Amino acid sequence: MNARVELAAERLLGALQSRQELRGAKVTECISAKDSRAVFAGRFKGRSVVFKHFSGEDAHEQTAALEAEMTYQWARMSTGACRVPEPLWFAPELGLAIMAQVSAERLDLLISGETRAQFISHSAEWLREYSRDRQRKAEFSPRFWVRQNRRLIPQHEAPEDRERARRLVKWMLSRVGALNGREILQTRSHGDFFTANLLYADGVMYGVDLHNQTWLPVAKDVARYLVHLSITHPVATDHRICGLPSEDVRGFLAAFGMLDEQDPLLAFFVASELAGRLAMESIDEAHHASKQGLVDGFLEGKGI
């Protein structure tokens, strides 16, 4: 057990021991641990569960947001082919949420050449259902996203990656005039929509990590999913849209139904997601090379 997991486990056990009604809970496995939040599997009241524990300064707000989101979505997505896990118990004052554990596998571990198109369409259907009842029109402010990605440029150690990041930001900046103030569709976004936050079993897709309650352009979640998929599960093809496999893009958009491949916001957010992913630590050299290749393909396609 590494130090981060050990500290997260200690914090969670302290929260569980602080309430009489939680003292029978059992923690069995760490799913993920970050500085200010951790996810563990375990048992609670005879059920297999997931404990999500927030420990940062905003722990109360994060837990309350998760409770509101999961309660709302459970009323809409507890049955059918697109679901969310059952919410069981929340204590914002402890930064603690308990949800039923889904007997399913992470989508990023299941996707293969044979299942790729099917799972992409199903993912899009899940996102459509998740955001279907919460949509609004808004004016787009592209400069915010340009600033966000410009701040990432100094994070790159390799000069060639800093140059890639600069070129992405330069292209995004070139689109500001055309996009600024444009009326766009926003949805109550998932915020971190990609294959590792989707679970699948027996024809049912489950979305997890739902504590984000942010209104974002509809293209944001779409671009995040497609860019991450192309990085982690690259395919060789000469047919691309915004540097991404055309079949992936068209399959997702056909099932999603709220965004057109010609919409300039799609390309804008693909560039933004590429810049963000390029700045993240890579798993290995192949992962890094995959990110670099996608950025180069996007820039080449835009003539930059």
Q: Give the number of residues written for the chain.
A: 304
pLDDT at 16: 94
Does residue 96 sit in the same domain as residue 113?
no
If asked whether residues 71 and 212 sit together in one domain, one would say no
Do 120 and 208 lie in a common domain? yes
Q: Average pLDDT for residues 261-267, to the nearest whole number?
A: 96
pLDDT-derived band at 67, boundaries 50, 70, 90: very high
Q: How confident is the model at residue 2 (pLDDT cuts 50, 70, 90)?
A: confident
Percentage of the chain beyond pLDDT 70 is: 99
Residue 34 pLDDT > 70: yes
Of 36-40, 174-178, 209-213, 263-267, which range is least confident?
209-213
Task: Pick 214 or 167 by higher pLDDT.
Answer: 167
Domain boundary among 44, 72, 101: 101
Average pLDDT over residues 128-147: 96
Domain-ending residue, one of 48, 67, 101: 101
Q: What's the pTM?
A: 0.94
Taking residues 160-182, what's their average pLDDT?
Answer: 97
- Arithmetic mean of pLDDT over the chain: 95
Q: Give me the mean pLDDT over the 35-62 stretch.
A: 94
Residues of the domain holding 7:
3-101
Segment 165-190 shows an average pLDDT of 95
Q: What is the pLDDT of residues 138-164, one digit of tens each?
A: 999 999 999 999 999 999 999 999 999
Same domain, 166 and 280: yes
Q: Which range, of 146-160, 167-181, 199-213, averages the lowest pLDDT?
A: 199-213
Hey, what amino acid is at 70?
Answer: M
Q: Which two tokens stand for residue 118?
A: 């099917």
CA atoms of 124 and 253, how far apart (whole Å):
7
Mean pLDDT, rounded, for 230-246: 96
CATH code where residue 206 lies: 3.90.1200.10
The last residue of a domain, from among 40, 72, 101: 101
Q: Do residues 245 and 140 share a domain?
A: yes
CATH number at residue 53: 3.30.200.20
Instruction: State percent of the chain over pLDDT 90.
Output: 91
For residues 113 and 91, state if they share a domain. no
Q: Band the pLDDT of 1: cuts 50, 70, 90.
A: low
The answer on 269 and 130 residing in a single domain is: yes
Residue 46: pLDDT band with limits 50, 70, 90: very high
* Residue 212 in this model has a pLDDT that exceeds 90: no
| Structure confidence by residue, pLDDT tens digits, 18-28 | 999 998 999 99
Number of domains the chain is built from: 2
